Amino acid sequence: MVTLPEFADLATDAELIVVDPSEWDRRVPKAQVALVLLTVAARRAGVIPIDAVSAAAAGPFESANYNAIEAGVALA
């Protein structure tokens, strides 16, 4: 399970992967945090190619989405 530091003490049998977006050198808006976590999970599990995640990022928030994907790759 990929989560944020504020949930690091969550009781679960799953492996917890704690990701702190503040460790990325650029600001990650709250609206993009879920995409950061998805990218970390995809990268670590190898289930979804990062290219596919990037392709889905196009649209009105493209720049912010690409920044979130870059953050997720860096933090994975």
Parse the chain into domains and list their residue ranges: 2-75
Nearest to 57 by CA among 34, 41, 30, 75: 34
Strands 2-3 and 17-18 come out as parallel
Residue type for position 25: D
Averaged pLDDT score across all residues of the chain = 91
Residue type for position 55: A
**Its pTM surpasses 0.95:** no
Please, what's the b/e burial string for 11-41 (b: 16 or more CB within 10 A of its CB; e: otherwise)?
eeeeeebebebeebeeebeeebbebbbbbbb
pLDDT in tens, 2-35: 999 999 998 999 999 999 999 988 888 899 999 9
